[in-house]
Amino acid sequence: MVDKDTKKFERETFKDKILRQLEEANQSLDDVASETGFSAPKKTSVTPETPSQVSNRVSDKLSSTDTDDVEKVARPLTSRVATGRLAKAQQTPSDLAFQDTPVSSEAFDAEADQTSIEDTAEIKNIKRVTRQSKENYTRSTKKKSKKLAGKIIAIVVLVLFIVGGATGFLGYQYVMSEIQPYSTTDKSTKAVEIPAGVASKEIGQILEKKHIIKNATAFQYYTKLKSLTGFKSGYYNLSPSMSLTTIAKTLQEGGTEKPVEPILGKITIPEGFTIDQMAEKISDNVLTKSDKDKTPFTKEEFLKVVTDPAFIEKMKTTYPELFESLPATDSGVKYQLEGYLFPATYEYTKKSTMTTVVEQMIATMNQNLKPYYATIKEGPNPKTVNEILSIAALTEKEANNDADRRNVAQVFYNRMNVGMTLGSNISILYAEGKLGQKTTLAEDAAVNTSLDSPFNLYLNLGYGPGPVTNPSLSAIKAAVEPTDNDDLYFVADVTTGKVYFSETQAEHDANVQKYVNDKLANKEAQ
C-alpha cells in the first residue's frame, strides 16, 4: 500500500500528487539512462503517460539490462523514490519490475477520498485534543496565577499591616516617652531664664538645652494640644522631674526678675502639730514620694535650734510684736517657741540651714498675724499674742471646721469671763505628752483631770502658760474674731466630731451621755 503523505496531501489533490510522483519517476529514469548509457525516448506528445505505460516502459528497459546494470539502476532509483508513494517497489532488486496492472482513476479518487477523510478526522481530533489541552492548560495557569496573586496580595497586606502596626506602636511609644519627665529621680532644680517674646518652640529649645525636658518639639506640640499658652518671661527654678504640664503652668504664672536659688526640696508641717511632731517631719522631703529621699536636716538639729536661747533672743529682736508676750523659760512651758512656728510647706536650697528654715517658720507666723496685731491689743477685749495663740491652739484640736472653731473660741472666753476654768482635755493630753499620738476614744475621754501641771486647765484658771500646738490661720482667726454666743459648754461627738453646745451644766451632761458615753458603750459592745 502506498504511504500517505498527510502534509503534502493537505496542499494538493490526490491526482496532482500522482502526476508529480510520475514526473519524479520519469526524472529518475532519465538519470538512470544517463548513468548507464541508455537514452530515454523522446516524447512525441505533451500528453503525459499513463501509469501503465510508464510501468511497461520501465519494465522493458530493466529486462534488457544485466544484473549489474539493474543493481546500478536500483540504487539511485531507491534513493530517489524512497520518500514517495512508490516506496514498496524498491524492497528487493527482483521487485523492481512494475506489475502491468491498469489502475483506474476512480480507484485513485476513492483511495484519495478515503485517505482524505481519515486524515481529516485524525487531524480534527488532534486539533480538538490539542485545543482542549491548551485551554485546560490556560485555565490551570490562570487559576494558579490567580491563587499566586491572591497569596502575594495577602502577604503584602499582612506585611504592610505588621509594618504599619509596628510603626504606629513604636511611634506612640516614642511620643509617650518624649513627653515624660526628663528624670524621675533628679529632684534638684535649675535656674532657667525665659526671654521676653519667645514662642513655645524657642522655650522648648531652651528647656531641652538645660536638660529640663527631653524634646523641644514634643513640648511645642504638647502645649498646643493642651492649650497651654501665655508663657511669661523671667527666671524660673525648674526640675527635670517636673511634668510638661507642671512646667507649662509654672511658666504661665511668671518668673522672677532676678535668679533665685534653686529649690532642693520641701518640708511640710501639718496644722496643729506640736514641736515634737515637727521634729519628726523635718527630715521628710515632700518634694518626692519616696521615703528614702530625705532632707539634709535632722530631728536633733531642729530641737537644738528651737531651744537655743541665743537664737530665741535674736528672734525676739527681729519680730518684736510677735514675741512681745513670749512665755519665759520658767513659766512651765515645754518649748518657748511652741505655737509660734506657722504650719505650712517650706522650701530649702543649697544655702538653707536648719536655723534659716526655723526662722522662715517664725517669719510666716508673724506675716499671718500682722493684720490682727492692732485688734488683739486695742480691741474691745484686749489680749496678748500669747493668749490668742493659746486659745487658737486649743480651738484647733477641739473643732474641725471654721464655724465650730469660732463658737468654741467664744465658749472659752465666756467661761473665763465668769471665772470658770477652760476645762479642755487637749491641754491635759499635751501635759501628759500624748497630744499628737494615736489614742483611743476612751483614752481621750478619760483624761486625768487632777494632773499636777500648769497645763491642767480643769484646775488652773486662764489660758495656760502657752500654746499647746502650732495653730492654723483658721484657728487664729477664730480666736481673734469669735462668734458671739452665751454658751458655756460644748462636747464633740466621739464618732462624727460634730460639736454640740449648751448653756447649762444639765444640758451639757445630757450631751456628754448621748454623744460620748453611750457611743463608747455601743462601740465596746460591738
* Grid cell for residue 114: 478515503
Distances (CA, A) of 120 to 9, 10, 127, 410: 10, 9, 10, 133
Please count the other Cβ atoms lying within 10 Å of the Cβ belonging to residue 131. 10
Domain annotation covers residue 11:
no
Reported as a single tens digit per residue, the pLDDT across 303-330 is: 999 999 999 999 999 999 999 999 999 9
Considering 228, 253, 278, which residue would you say is the last residue of a domain?
A: 253
Distances (CA, A) of 399 to 196, 344, 440, 498, 508: 49, 20, 17, 8, 17
* Residue 467: domain span: 398-525
Q: Do 498 and 438 sit in the same domain of this protein?
A: yes
Q: Do 418 and 514 sit in the same domain of this protein?
A: yes
Please tell me the predicted confidence (pLDDT) of residue 141: 76
Reported as a single tens digit per residue, the pLDDT across 22-66 is: 777 666 555 544 544 444 444 444 445 554 554 455 445 444 444
H/E stretch holding 55 reads helix 51-63
Q: Do 241 and 350 sit in the same domain of this protein?
A: no
Domain annotation covers residue 321:
yes
Please tell me the predicted confidence (pLDDT) of residue 30: 54
Question: Pairing between strand 345-348 and 499-502?
Answer: unpaired
Please tell me the predicted confidence (pLDDT) of residue 445: 67
- Number of domains the chain is built from: 3
Reported as a single tens digit per residue, the pLDDT across 467-500 is: 999 999 999 999 999 999 999 999 989 888 899 9
Average pLDDT of the segment spanning 250-265: 87
Q: Do 457 and 517 sit in the same domain of this protein?
A: yes
Domain annotation covers residue 295:
yes
Give the C-alpha separation, 60 to 468, whole Å: 164
Please tell me the predicted confidence (pLDDT) of residue 288: 74
Please tell me the predicted confidence (pLDDT) of residue 174: 56
Q: Do 392 and 467 meet the contact criterion of CB atoms below 8 Å apart? A: yes
Considering 202, 228, 253, which residue would you say is the last residue of a domain?
A: 253
Q: Percent of the chain beyond pLDDT 90?
A: 49
Reported as a single tens digit per residue, the pLDDT across 149-178 is: 777 887 877 777 776 666 665 555 556 777
Please tell me the predicted confidence (pLDDT) of residue 153: 83
Residues 6+ positions from 327 with CB-CB distance below 8 Å: 333, 336, 386, 465, 466
Please name which of 198, 189, 190 lies closest in space to residue 233, comparing C-alpha atoms.
Answer: 198
Give the C-alpha separation, 329 to 307, whole Å: 10
* Residue tagged 506640640 (cell numbers): 221
Domain annotation covers residue 352:
yes
H/E stretch holding 17 reads helix 14-36
Please tell me the predicted confidence (pLDDT) of residue 437: 81
Phi, psi of 182 (to 5 degrees): -60, -40
Q: Do 249 and 267 sit in the same domain of this protein?
A: no
* Residue tagged 504638647 (cell numbers): 222
* Residue tagged 535632722 (cell numbers): 298
Q: Do 353 and 423 sit in the same domain of this protein?
A: no
Considering 372, 389, 414, which residue would you say is the last residue of a domain?
A: 372
Q: Do 403 and 516 sit in the same domain of this protein?
A: yes
Could you tell me how many residues make up the chain?
A: 526
Give the C-alpha separation, 393 to 434, whole Å: 15
H/E stretch holding 235 reads strand 234-238
Bridge partners, 191 (sequence order): 237
Average pLDDT of the segment spanning 390-412: 95
Average pLDDT of the segment spanning 290-312: 92
Angle at 435 between CA 385 and CA 342, to 5 degrees: 40
Please tell me the predicted confidence (pLDDT) of residue 96: 42
Q: Do 243 and 328 sit in the same domain of this protein?
A: no
3-state secondary structure 378-399: HCCCCCCHHHHHHHHHHHHHHC
Number of H helices, E strands in the chain: 20, 6
Q: Do 449 and 481 sit in the same domain of this protein?
A: yes
Q: Exposed, middle or buried, 103 (CB in 10 Å: 0-12/13-18/19+)?
A: middle
Max mean pLDDT among 59-73, 273-287, 426-440 falls in 273-287
Is residue 100 pLDDT above 90, yes or no?
Answer: no
Please tell me the predicted confidence (pLDDT) of residue 119: 60
Q: Do 249 and 227 sit in the same domain of this protein?
A: yes
Please tell me the predicted confidence (pLDDT) of residue 147: 77
Give the C-alpha separation, 3 to 259, whole Å: 119
CATH number at residue 222: 3.30.1490.480
Is residue 7 pLDDT above 70, yes or no?
Answer: no
Could you tell me which residue, 235 or 156, shows the higher pLDDT? Answer: 235
Is residue 436 pLDDT above 90, yes or no?
Answer: no
C-alpha torsion 240→241→244→246, nearest 10 = -110
Q: Do 204 and 315 sit in the same domain of this protein?
A: no
Domain annotation covers residue 103:
no
Q: Do 483 and 519 sit in the same domain of this protein?
A: yes
CA atoms within 13 A on the CB side of 333: 23
* Grid cell for residue 45: 506528445
Domain annotation covers residue 413:
yes
Domain annotation covers residue 3:
no
Q: DSSP letter for 363, please.
A: H
Bridge partners, 430 (sequence order): none
Residues 6+ positions from 491 with CB-CB distance below 8 Å: 499, 500, 508, 511, 512, 515, 516
C-alpha torsion 315→320→321→326, nearest 10 = 60
Please name which of 378, 380, 364 lies closest in space to residue 476, comparing C-alpha atoms.
Answer: 364
pTM for this model (two decimals): 0.60
Q: Do 471 and 339 meet the contact criterion of CB atoms below 8 Å apart? A: yes
Domain annotation covers residue 93:
no
H/E stretch holding 63 reads helix 51-63
* Grid cell for residue 215: 524634646
Question: What is the average pLDDT value for the chain, to the nearest integer?
Answer: 80
End-to-end C-alpha distance for the chain, whole angstroms: 129
